[in-house]
Amino acid sequence: MKNFKQSDLLKQLPSQFFASLVEKVARVIEQGHDVINLGQGNPDQPTPAHIVASLQEAAGNPAHHKYSPFRGNESFKQSIAEFYKREYGVKLDSSSEIAILFGGKAGLVEIPQCLLNEGDTVLVPDPGYPDYLSGVALAKAKMEYMPLKEVYHFLPKYEDIDVTVLEKAKLMFLNYPNNPTGAVASPEFFEETVELATKYNICVVHDFAYGAIGFDGKRPISFLQTPGAKEIGIEIYTLSKTFNMAGWRVGFAVGNKSVIEAINLLQDHMYVSLFGAVQEAATTALLESQQCVNDLVKLYEERRNVFISGLKEIGWEVMAPNGTFFAWLKVPEGYTSEEFADLLLEKAHVVVAPGIGFGSYGEGFVRVGLLTSTERLREAVHRIKALNIF
């Protein structure tokens, strides 16, 4: 069989760091060990029953068996506008300020291709979601990293960015509540962001994937709640985390009209929108009772409290996350993040994600997903304790 070479474009894509982690985990499982996998970001709860029922009913409607409108059903876009008005007090024009996405990841990878030319500069958080880099690579753009340091509550410190970099930058990725650190943004930080972006003409892309998940009675804020935010940026939301719809691949971008039009234009050439029944079920998720969301956040907070308090009891000095379903934990002295992750896997059969996989400033940390039962989290703490590291 003839072997056809991949394009130079594909060769420029960043390597998947976590592919090696998956292989390591598979080997340990094959050896017959009971592995507690806290290294992934895949929600473990089912999609709420009323949303599933909505899909089942809609799937039987012959109208959905045809191509959907290229830019999505107007009823779904109107439900997004209603959701943002209800939840965040943000007014959106459904016809010009909303783009339907095949999941949030698709939008994050598409954005650089929509707005950048070869060699343009993008500001990317470090540590950060690895797929930001994929879109930048596809656009043949240049990355400048914004360190997220514990001393600054894992927020980028804009005054530390060289002015010449800011003058070149055309795009900035932000993500709060933050993956992997679990940090949340303040209104003051978003105000500072709008001021900076306005001054240097930078488009801000706020990844709001974990927008529903905040703890201790504090609700994460939308970037678009900030005065002037819609003038200089967009927000990308996904139903994956809020409604446990990760496999459904449905999300949306909202905000600046010119950016939304650019996304829609690119997608006009790639897709014919989402299956109409999925759009109808997503409308149900956004407009009907949000009790399922409240219950989910309560569950994650309970897991966080059990896990973090357990680690503190065994002597591991860790910080509790303020949002997301992740915990960002400092590794003990004498280990790199990958060495410590390997130790936990091989000796305790507990999987965590090495911080270095999220960027150079992730070194010294591991990310834990609170995506298993409290019983399994307690067992993970027990196994770590048995290593006598702390």
pLDDT band at 140 (very low <50, low <70, confident <90, very high): very high
Neighbour count for residue 125 (Cβ, 10 Å): 26
pLDDT band at 372 (very low <50, low <70, confident <90, very high): very high
pLDDT greater than 90 at residue 150: yes
Predicted confidence (pLDDT) per residue in 178-194, tens digit: 999 999 999 999 999 99
Q: Which domains does the chain have, with CATH numbers?
A: 8-46+291-385 (3.90.1150.10), 50-287 (3.40.640.10)
Q: 11 burial class (0-12, 13-18, 19+ CB within 10 angstroms)?
A: exposed
How is 79-118 classified by DSSP, letter by letter? HHHHHHHHHH-----TTTSEEEESSHHHHHHHHHHHH--T
> Are the CB atoms for 154 and 188 separated by under 8 Å?
no
What is the model's pLDDT at position 23? 87
| Mean of pLDDT values over 151-172 | 97
Dist. CA 269–CA 66, nearest whole Å:
18
pLDDT greater than 90 at residue 9: no
Predicted confidence (pLDDT) per residue in 319-359, tens digit: 999 999 999 999 999 999 999 999 999 999 999 999 999 99
What is the model's pLDDT at position 339? 95
Q: Is 282 helix (H, G, I), strand (E, B) or coil?
A: helix
pLDDT greater than 80 at residue 16: no
Q: What percent of the chain has pLDDT over 90?
A: 90
pLDDT band at 275 (very low <50, low <70, confident <90, very high): very high
pLDDT greater than 80 at residue 17: no
> Are the CB atoms for 180 and 323 separated by under 8 Å?
no
